[in-house]
Amino acid sequence: MFKKEIHFLGNTKKSMVFVALLWILQSAGRFLFGYLSATTPGGLLDVEVTQATLQIIDTMFLVLGALGLIATAGLLLRRKWGFHATIIASVSTILFDIWGVTIQSSAAMGFVVPAISLVVLFTSRSQLKEMN
């Protein structure tokens, strides 16, 4: 089974590897900010928010980070669910960051990876047929 997984990774198109690398970075950043925000008194925001809002933000950072890593694994293993999970992670991240922009404008940086991912994935839909 291990050789089969390596084989899939070896046949993965460069565009999918590019998206996967972006999501690894995005997920690592989400985990880092979620952890730092949760352990820093008052969080990392420039504006004051309620404790409940801060907890929602921290939780979403961690959830989106985990979702991104799961989607990345599926994408690198050339699974259809990985392709779809990456789209779900991208759309979820964009929706969360739209809400985030209403709190702090720097949340707009979170749009970059999901937007690039959606463009690359939708232009690479033909690769979906080759996935298991």
The structural domains of the chain, with segments of one domain joined by +, span 2-130
The pLDDT averaged over each successive group of 10 residues in the chain (132 residues) is: 48 84 97 95 90 95 97 93 96 97 94 96 81 72
What does the pLDDT read at residue 106?
93
What does the pLDDT read at residue 6?
44
3-state secondary structure 64-98: HHHHHHHHHHHHHCCCHHHHHHHHHHHHHHHHHHH
Calpha distance 132→82 (Å, rounded): 10
- Token pair belonging to 79: 């699974």
Radius of gyration of the chain from its Cα atoms, rounded to whole angstroms: 16
What does the pLDDT read at residue 39?
94
